Amino acid sequence: MNVLFKADGTKTPAPPQNGTDYELSELQGLVGGWIEVVNLQESGYILVVNEEGLLKGLPWNPAASAVAGMDIVGDAVLCPSDCLK
């Protein structure tokens, strides 16, 4: 499951362009800047967020926050942890 949680509340599929794993530039484009990885405990999934989201004043993302169990701002990508190489 690879999902883009947009801060406006929309969710869209976001599979890697090559079908297996993301390129850094691809993730940066999806979250709008430098990336930060949030490990989702033992689930085998990660949430990729904008590292500077708070500094840039990005809006709160309720769906991503619910998944992460913490406040997340800006757009975020949920993906299996092995999608990053």
- Per-residue pLDDT reduced to its tens digit, 17-64: 999 999 999 999 999 999 999 999 888 999 999 999 999 999 999 999
**DSSP H or E segment with residue 17:** none
Q: What is the count of structural domains for the chain?
A: 1
User: To 5 degrees, how large is the angle CA 19–CA 80–CA 23?
Assistant: 50
Q: What is the mean pLDDT of residues 76-83?
A: 94
What range does the domain containing 58 cover?
3-83
Specify the 3-state DSSP secondary structure of 36: strand
C-beta neighbour count of 26 within 10 angstroms:
14
Q: What is the mean pLDDT of residues 56-77?
A: 97
pLDDT at 1: 85
C-beta neighbour count of 71 within 10 angstroms:
12
pLDDT at 84: 81
d(C-alpha 41, C-alpha 6), whole Å: 22
